[in-house]
Amino acid sequence: MNIQHPIDTAPEHLLIPDAKGYFGAWGGPIDDPRVGALLAEIGAALDVALADPAFQAEMSRLRATYIGRPSPVYHARNLSADCGGAQIWFKREDLNHTGAHKINHCIGEVLLAKRMGKKRVLAETGAGQHGVALATAAALLGIECEIHMGVVDIAKEHPNVSRMKILGCKLVPVARGTGTLKDAVDSAFDSYMQDPENTFFAIGSVTGPAPYPRMVQGFQSVIGTEARRQFTEATGTLPTEVAACVGGGSNAIGLFSGFIDAPEVGLVGIEPSGHGLDTDKHAATLTLGKPGHMHGFRCYMLQDDDGAPLPVHSVASGLDYPGVGPQHCHLKDMGRARYESATDDEAFDAFMILSRREGIIPALESAHAVAYAIRRAPQMRPDQSILVNLSGRGDKDIDFVIRSLGL
C-alpha cells in the first residue's frame, strides 16, 4: 500500500511554517511558557506519528472504512448548464460520516491524543459541528471527551446537542458572559489548565497557536490530494479555479493544498459578508480585517480600536469568527489566493438552487462557495471549470431555512 505522509501531500513549501510556527508574518507560538512547553510536545509527537507507518496505516484504514473516503468529485451538469459558462464540479465532503469535513482532523487529533497517553480530549463548540465530530471520534477510539458550549448556543442548536449527549461526551454549559462561542473558548481553556498534562485540547480549525494550524491543515490536505487526482482522472486537466468557504479556513486550506504548486489553478476563498460589507454584520476577516492577535496567534482580524475582536455575524454559524488561519493571511499577502465574499441572502439563494437543480442540500457554510460559483461561472468559458468544496450537508440547517424563507 502506498501510504503518504499527510504533510508531504501538501506539495509545496509555501504552506509549511517556520520553526516557530509562522507562515510569513502570521500564526506563531503561544506566549504562556507553561502552555508553550505542552504545545511543543504536541508538535513533536505529531512529527513522530506522521513518520510512523503504523499511524499512517491506521489513518488510512479509518479514512477508507469509517469516514468513507475518498469522497466523490461530481460534475454538476444541471447547474453548469443553467449558469451558461464554466463547468461547476463539487468535492463531496458532505458525504463523509457525520456530514462534513471536520471528521478528517478530529480522527487525526484523537489518534494523536491517544498515542500521547492523554486521558481526555477537550474542545469548545459554537454551533456544535466541531463538538459532534470530536465526540464521534472519541466514541470510536475510546477516550473521554468534554465539550464546552454557551447556554445560548445550546438552546439554539438542539439536534447537535442531542447528538453529543447520545455519543457520550460530557457537555459543559457555559453561562458566563454572553453564553456564546467566545465564552465557551474561555471556559474550555480554564478546564484545560486544571489538568493540561492529561488533556488534549482539540482545536476545530486551522486557528490557534502552533502547532494547530499546520496539524489541522495536514489532516485536511487529504481533500485537495484526492480532488486533484479525481478531477484529473475525470477530465485530463486541472480545474481553472478551486473554491471553498472560509471560516477559520480548514476546509479551504485542505482543498488549496492539493493545487498550490500549480500556478495555473486559481485559489479562491469565500468569506461571509452577512448583511453586507458596508454594515457591521459580517465576518469578512480577510477582506476587511487588520493585523491583530487573538486566541494565541497572529492573523488578519476584525477588531475594535483597542485590538479586541469585534462581534461578527454570518447566517452560517460555522463561518462566524473574527480571525482566520495564518496560511490564508500568508496566501493573501503573496497574492497566491484571492478572497471574495457572499452575503446571507446569496447563501440562501445558492442553498435553494443547489437543492432544487442538483438534489443536494448543502450546509449554509458551503452555500457561500456555491454562491460564488453561480456568480463566477457565467464570466468564464464552457471549457473552463470551477471545483467547489462542498464542506458539509445541510440537514442541520433545514428548519432554520424553512423559517427564514417562510416556506
Residues at the interface with ligand PLP (CB under 6 A): 100, 102, 129, 205, 245-251, 318-319, 363, 365-366, 391-392
CB nearer to ligand PLP: pick between 55 and 89: 89
102 is catalytic: yes
C-alpha gyration radius of the chain: 20
Per-residue exposure over 308-347, b if at least 16 CB sit within 10 Å of its own CB, e if not: ebeebbbbbbbbbbbbbbbbbbbbbeeebbebbbbbbebb
CB nearer to ligand PLP: pick between 196 and 326: 326
- Tell me the pairing of strands 87-92 and 73-75: antiparallel
Kindly report the number of other CB atoms within 10 A of residue 356's CB atom: 11
Alpha-carbon span 10 to 294, nearest angstrom:
26
250 is catalytic: no
Closest approach of Cβ 132 to ligand PLP, in Å?
Answer: 9
Instruction: Give the helix/strand (H/E) hosting 73.
Output: strand 73-75
CB nearer to ligand PLP: pick between 71 and 196: 71
> Which residues, at least 6 apart from 326, have a Cβ–Cβ distance to it below 8 Å?
17, 22, 23, 24, 26, 27, 28, 206, 213, 297, 298, 299
* Residue written as grid cell 444541471: 78
Query: Per the residue annotation, which of 71, 91, 93, 124 is the catalytic one?
Result: 124
Closest approach of Cβ 365 to ligand PLP, in Å?
Answer: 3
CB nearer to ligand PLP: pick between 150 and 196: 150
CB nearer to ligand PLP: pick between 205 and 287: 205
Closest approach of Cβ 128 to ligand PLP, in Å?
Answer: 9
Among residues 352, 358, 393, 385, the alpha carbon closest in space to that of 371 is found at 352
385 is catalytic: no
Instruction: Give the helix/strand (H/E) hosting 338.
Output: strand 337-343
Closest approach of Cβ 301 to ligand PLP, in Å?
Answer: 15
Query: Per the residue annotation, which of 102, 182, 332, 396 is the catalytic one?
Result: 102
Closest approach of Cβ 214 to ligand PLP, in Å?
Answer: 14
* Cell numbers for 365: 457554510
* Cell numbers for 83: 449558469
Active site residues: 102, 124, 391
